[in-house]
Amino acid sequence: MPEGDSVYVLARKLDQRLTGRTVVRSSLRVPRLATRDLAGRTVLEQATHGKHLLTRFSGGATLHSHLLMDGEWSVVRPGKVLPRRLMPEVRVELETEQGWTAYGIRLHQLELVPTAEEHRLVGHLGPDPLRADWDPDEAVRRLLADPSRPLVSALLDQTLVAGLGNLWVNELAFLVGRSPWTPIGELGPDGVRRLLDRAAVALHHSATVPGAFQVTTGRNVRGEDHWVSGRQRRPCLRCGTTVLMADELVNDPDNRRTWWCPHCQPGPGPEARVRRSVAGGGRPAGRPPRS
């Protein structure tokens, strides 16, 4: 699943191709938006909040999309077209007056709303380390509202902090030397603040420095770019202990596939996992979507 830095990088690429260009033809290929038309509007910017992309147009309109596991955007040059095999999966097509055409492929949660009402779609999200309005104090408050919650489960909850996905929460748990299932309250306010400061620096570095995208070890070498993520049964890059993996719990976004080094990250093991989701709903009753 794309993480916050993935969507941020995508937004900057789309800005290069689309921002300032006027749409001459649009096609929104989902039933509830099929009659809506963006022709005549100019693309103003691509904003992000966590894993959500907000394409803002002149006239006060915003096209909201979420990539989930398989969504993507592709922009083709004038005179070029998307490969035919992908056309059945296109949900958005925006052709600009200069001939550049953007295709939204397998997009999810697609909505078109007045820009002034974006909060209806992203207002439930927590602070985002990649946004100018990043509020670490508010993020600390939200994360510590349930101090018994396991560290990785709390960090994955987009209503607490937006933009951290499975790769980053596993790597952050390693970097702070804590078991993924450590109750987050054990870090205390100062410890949670230090973790968030580290996360903000790491995500910004990943999203803005060439060659640094999602490299958490500082070594852009295949197999050595992550401390624990994807390294099950391999030696820890710091101490040599075998990295372990706990598989995800089905239909439970709080408990996704988890990697850790038992030596560098002492504390509770996967037996401490807490199942908080309900069958079929993917979350406890009353909790808003966490994506």
Mind listing the pLDDT tens digit of every residue in the chain (291 residues)? 689 999 999 999 999 999 999 999 999 999 999 999 999 999 999 999 999 999 999 999 999 999 988 999 999 999 998 999 999 999 999 999 989 999 999 998 899 999 999 999 999 999 999 999 999 999 999 999 999 999 999 999 999 999 999 999 999 999 999 999 999 999 999 999 999 999 999 999 999 999 999 999 999 999 999 999 999 999 999 999 999 999 999 888 889 999 999 999 999 999 988 876 543 333 433 344 456
**What pLDDT score does 286 carry?**
36
- Pick the catalytic residue: 51, 91, 276, 283? 51
**Could you give the CA distance from residue 123 to residue 15 in angstroms, rounded to a whole number?**
23
Catalytic one of 91, 256, 276, 283: 256
**Residue 89 appears among annotated catalytic residues:** no
In the residue annotation, 150 being an active-site residue is answered as no
- What secondary structure letter does DSSP report for 288? P
Q: What angle do CA 279, 284, 288 make, to 5 degrees?
A: 120
Most distant pair of Cα atoms in the chain: their distance? 59
The question of whether 51 is a catalytic residue gets the answer yes
pLDDT at position 96 is 96
Q: In whole angstroms, what is the distance from residue 217 CA to residue 205 CA?
A: 12
- Asked whether 227 and 178 are in contact (CB, 8 A), the reply is no
Tell me what pLDDT residue 281 has. 38
Q: Which domains does the chain have, with CATH numbers?
A: 4-123 (3.20.190.10), 136-273 (1.10.8.50)
Cα gap 53→181, rounded to integer Å: 30
Mapped onto helix, strand or coil, the DSSP state of residue 250 is coil
Asked if 256 is an active-site residue, the reply is yes
Q: Which residue pairs, CB below 8 angstroms and at least 24 apart, start in 234-238?
A: 236/261, 236/263, 236/264, 238/264
Q: Which residue in the block uniquely carries the two structure tokens 């191709």?
A: 17
Contacts of residue 199, defined as CB under 8 A and 6 or more positions apart, other chains included, come to 129, 161, 164, 168, 172
pLDDT of residue 108: 86
DSSP secondary structure, 87-111, as one string: GGGEEEEEEETTS-EEEEES-EEEE
